[in-house]
Amino acid sequence: MENLTMEKVVNYAKNYGFIFQGSEIYGGLSNSWDYGPLGTMLKENIRNFWKQKFITENKLNYGLDAAIIMNPNVWIASGHVASFADPLIDCKKCKARHRADHLISEFTKGKETADGWSNEKIEKYITDNKVVCPTCKKSDFTPVRKFNLLFETKIGVVDESKSTVYLRGETAQGIFVNFKNVERAMRAKIPFGICQTGKAFRNEVTPGNFIFRTREFEQMELEFFCKPGTDLEWFKYWKDYCINFLYLIGLDKEKLRFRDHTKEELSFYSKATTDIEYLYPMGWGELWGIADRTDYDLTVHEKHSRKDLHYLDPETHEKYLPYVVEPSIGLDRLFLAVICNAYNEETLDNGDTRELLKINYNLAPYKINVLPLIKKLHNEKAEELFNMLSKKFPISYDESGSIGKRYRRADAIGTPFCITVDDETLNNNTVTIRNRDTTKQDIVNIDDIISYIEEQICV
Ligand code: GAP
């Protein structure tokens, strides 16, 4: 929908039970969000879609579910303890706190990203270009400081024996430390990938834009291990794979673009990195990061753990540290893109507004809504149908209000099919199936409902 605002998305998500403010009855906790009944279902469907395409249907990849709290040496080795930090700056006039790199990209409307710049370079740019504070419009800032994003906690019972551990800042490290386990247990041969979905935690300086940037979020990551020298081919393979995944899930092509990182932005260990960006209501934002990480991760873990992480090619007998290509996407950011992309408002002939979540059928929380036309006449048969169909699909049941209102509610949450039970059902064993997008109605025999629906929801 054109002119969709984030405010509208937040209200919609709350009203229909997708996302609530976290700890709301206590006044909330800033930038924390709880997924409601429909949000939980939609999120699970998106996660399952990713798992289906990246694990089940791709014979190169395996799944993993590593612990959130890991040995702290993992984070020392990976470099997160020393340098997983954002540049922080405060406005001396109004005391507003900003991420200094974001200040520059907002000021230049995205022309400069300041990714990978030193503190000195950021400060000089802000002074030379008189970048202003978005809150008070003055240009008077403190020096830039680095702020580490890892959340610390303690394990152990007694104070003296407690030791510092970290909530994982990304799921990727759980994969790197299990590279050898998966290779051995699965008799995996290079090239192969390991996929993981799960929560990650970052003490973000400036969270915001609803679920776009939060301190607790879910990632879906693939670390793909390949022979050095083949990495750029695989980088291209996964770039194509990821963008096609987003088309398949239903995002509009014109709202997606690649943004290649410049040499200056690239991490020192990366040969190539690109972001797939989506046009959110607040503007273009990173949805998926795809990086050629070379052998950096395995090298540092080999050094710190003193375990041999080399791969021995069973055919050529070559021994090498594999290179890694990593497509990493935030599930919450994809959820937000899916909702923003699918939300629509249509004006009907009678002047009413029809809210419509035109979502991929596979992602819809409920596939079917069963409706008895007249409660006291058709309830029994409709419940029988609900019991039969709910064994096969996630479905809902709605018996209150006019049939038009019930259609509207189903359209608004993206339910693809409404099945109405009426006198024809009792007399002829047929139901009316209404399609969400076309509003076209088909008469279908009860015995054929499952194949009718299955034909339309299989990807
Ligand atoms: N292992 C690589 C990695 O974590 P990243 O670019 O920091 O790379 C990958 O994160 C993806 O995770 C991003 O493209 C984004 O979709 C998501 N993400 C990162 N930080 C986030 C946050 N604070 N809130 C929500 N999603 C986030």
Q: State which ligand 1 atom lies nearest to the alpha carbon of 170.
A: 4
Task: Give the pLDDT score at 264.
Answer: 85
Q: State which ligand 1 atom lies nearest to the alpha carbon of 202.
A: 23
| Nearest Cα residue to 130 out of 112, 111, 108, 102 | 108
Residue owning the nearest CA to atom 25 of ligand 1: 213
Q: Output the CA 220–ligand 1 centroid distance in Å.
A: 9
Residue type, 165: V
Per CATH, the homologous superfamily of domain 366-457 is Anticodon-binding domain (3.40.50.800)
- For the entire predicted model, the pTM comes to 0.94
Instruction: Count Cα atoms within 13 angstroms, Cβ side, for 240.
Output: 5
Which residue from 288, 333, 335, 336 has its CB within 8 A of the most atoms of ligand 1, so it is best to mutate? 333
The domains of the chain are located at: 6-72+164-339, 85-148, 366-457
- List the CATH code of the domain at 85-148: 3.30.40.230
Residue owning the nearest CA to atom 15 of ligand 1: 330
| Nearest Cα residue to 333 out of 416, 210, 227, 435 | 210
Token pair belonging to 169: 């800042």
Token pair belonging to 102: 């974001």
How long, in residues, is the chain?
459
Q: Output the CA 321–ligand 1 centroid distance in Å.
A: 26
Residue owning the nearest CA to atom 20 of ligand 1: 213
For ligand 1, residues with CB inside 6 Å are 170, 172, 202, 204, 213-214, 217, 219, 221, 286-289, 326, 328-330, 332-333
Q: Output the CA 330–ligand 1 centroid distance in Å.
A: 5
Q: Output the CA 454–ligand 1 centroid distance in Å.
A: 35
Cβ proximity of 228 and 323 under 8 Å: yes
Three-state DSSP class for 17? coil
> Which CATH architecture is the domain 6-72+164-339 placed in?
2-Layer Sandwich (3.30)
Cβ proximity of 132 and 138 under 8 Å: yes
Cβ proximity of 301 and 309 under 8 Å: yes
Token pair belonging to 452: 């009718």
Q: Report the relative pairing of strands 33-35 and 19-21 from DSSP bridges.
A: antiparallel
* Helix H or strand E encompassing 125: helix 119-128
* Helix H or strand E encompassing 285: strand 283-294
Cβ proximity of 126 and 104 under 8 Å: yes
Task: Give the pLDDT score at 160.
Answer: 77
According to DSSP H, which parts of 129-197 are helical? 172-176, 179-186
Rounded to an integer, what distance in angstroms lies between the CA atom of residue 61 and that of residue 367?
29
Task: Give the pLDDT score at 459.
Answer: 58
Phi-psi region of 441 (alpha: psi -120 to 50; beta: other; left: phi over 0): beta
Q: Report the relative pairing of strands 368-372 and 395-397 from DSSP bridges.
A: parallel
CA distances from 295 to 181, 220, 223, 264, 291 (A): 18, 21, 11, 20, 12
According to DSSP H, which parts of 150-217 are helical? 172-176, 179-186
Which residue from 196, 219, 239 has its CB within 8 A of the most atoms of ligand 1, so it is best to mutate? 219
Q: Output the CA 219–ligand 1 centroid distance in Å.
A: 7
Cβ proximity of 198 and 307 under 8 Å: no
Which residue from 99, 170, 201 has its CB within 8 A of the most atoms of ligand 1, so it is best to mutate? 170
The one-digit pLDDT tens for each residue of the chain (459 residues) are 989 999 999 999 999 999 999 999 999 999 999 999 999 999 999 999 999 999 999 999 999 999 999 999 999 999 999 999 999 999 999 999 999 999 998 899 888 888 778 899 999 999 999 999 999 999 999 999 999 999 999 998 887 778 999 999 999 999 999 999 999 999 999 999 999 999 999 999 889 999 999 999 999 999 999 999 999 999 999 999 999 999 999 999 999 999 999 988 898 999 999 999 999 999 999 999 999 999 999 999 999 999 999 999 999 999 999 999 999 999 999 999 999 999 999 998 889 899 999 999 999 999 999 999 999 999 999 999 999 999 999 999 999 999 999 999 999 999 999 999 999 999 999 999 999 999 999 999 999 999 999 999 875
Residue type, 285: G
Q: Output the CA 36–ligand 1 centroid distance in Å.
A: 23
Do 6-72+164-339 and 85-148 have matching folds?
Answer: no
Mean pLDDT of the chain: 96
Residue owning the nearest CA to atom 22 of ligand 1: 213
Residue owning the nearest CA to atom 27 of ligand 1: 330
Task: Give the pLDDT score at 279.
Answer: 98
Token pair belonging to 96: 């507003």
Question: What phi and psi values does residue 321 have, to the nearest 5 degrees?
Answer: -90, 120
In this structure, is the dihedral angle defined by the CA atoms of residues 90, 96, 101 and 105, taken in order, positive or negative?
Answer: negative
Question: What phi and psi values does residue 152 have, to the nearest 5 degrees?
Answer: -95, 150
